[in-house]
């Protein structure tokens, strides 16, 4: 089953895909470098070396987000079952890893509502005020109201979701654009 950004299980699925692609590319690099030893033709050796060097670029593009998000897994199914009922009130995005210049923020769930954006982050060692400010600056740059609130405690996040009133559909365009911006900020 294909998982898209914002769906539950996305982190674990992308981790498996990126790991598989990275391993295939590493094997290709090693095969190209190993093939150099089986030829006496200098031109063939040069071509194989250049091919291995060029294969490093896509491998690095796959490996860097894999390494940056390696320790962040999809939250337990129980968490999903607690948050799922709130999808009637607002748009919920799961399993995003938002990146700014300074931070890599694993967001287990993000509630996008006309009143604001409420994100549950599990990275306890991050600087809360600075992380929230960085995300709000990215929202300003995207011509959105800087209304992101990061909650670091699951109970307070669920309490905040419970206090939201159902969205009336008036601001679906803004909510949809906020969802698109959040997905674009994610690995």
Q: How many CB atoms lie within 10 A of CB 127?
A: 11
- Give the mean model confidence (pLDDT) for residues 44-59: 92
- Give the mean model confidence (pLDDT) for residues 111-124: 86
Please report, for residues 111, 153, 187, the alpha-carbon distance to residue 118 in angstroms, rounded to integers and kept in the order given.
Answer: 5, 12, 19
- Give residue-wise pLDDT tens across range 59-92: 999 998 888 888 888 889 999 999 999 888 888 9
Strands (E) located in 32-171: 91-99, 104-113, 116-121, 148-151
Query: Could you tell me if 131 and 106 are in contact, meaning their C-beta atoms sit under 8 angstroms apart?
Result: no
More confident residue, 119 or 144: 119
- pLDDT score recorded for residue 135: 87
Separation of alpha carbons 144 and 164, rounded Å: 20
Q: What's the pLDDT band for 170 if we cut at 50, 70, 90?
A: low
Q: How many CB atoms lie within 10 A of CB 38?
A: 9
Please enumerate in sequence order all residues whose Cβ is within 8 A of that of 187, keeping only pairs 6 or more positions apart, or say none: 14, 65, 68, 69, 97, 99
Q: Is the pLDDT of residue 113 over 80?
A: yes
- Give residue-wise pLDDT tens across range 155-167: 998 999 888 887 7
Give the CA dihedral 119, 122, 126, 129, nearest 10 degrees. Answer: 30
Query: Could you tell me if 157 and 70 are in contact, meaning their C-beta atoms sit under 8 angstroms apart?
Result: no
pTM of the model: 0.81
- pLDDT score recorded for residue 172: 64
φ, ψ of residue 23 to 5 degrees: the values are -65, -40
Mean pLDDT of the chain: 87
């Amino acid at each position: 089953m294909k998982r898209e950004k914002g769906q539950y299980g996305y982190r674990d699925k992308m981790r498996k895909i990126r790991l598989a692609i990275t391993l295939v590319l590493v094997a290709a690099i090693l095969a190209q470098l190993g093939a150099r030893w089986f030829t006496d033709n200098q031109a063939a050796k040069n071509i194989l070396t250049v091919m291995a060097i060029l294969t490093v670029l896509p491998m690095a593009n796959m490996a860097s987000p894999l390494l940056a998000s390696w320790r962040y897994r999809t939250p337990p199914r129980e968490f999903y079952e607690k948050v799922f009922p709130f999808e009637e009130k607002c748009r919920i995005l799961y399993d995003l890893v938002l990146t700014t210049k300074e931070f890599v923020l694993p967001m287990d769930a993000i509630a996008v509502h006309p009143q604001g954006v409420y994100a549950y982050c599990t990275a306890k060692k991050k600087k809360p005020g600075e992380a929230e400010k960085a995300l709000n600056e990215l929202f300003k740059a995207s011509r959105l109201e800087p209304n992101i609130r990061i909650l670091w405690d699951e109970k307070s996040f669920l309490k905040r979701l419970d206090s939201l009133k159902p969205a009336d559909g008036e601001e679906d365009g803004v909510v949809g654009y906020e969802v698109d911006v959040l997905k674009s900020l994610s690995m």
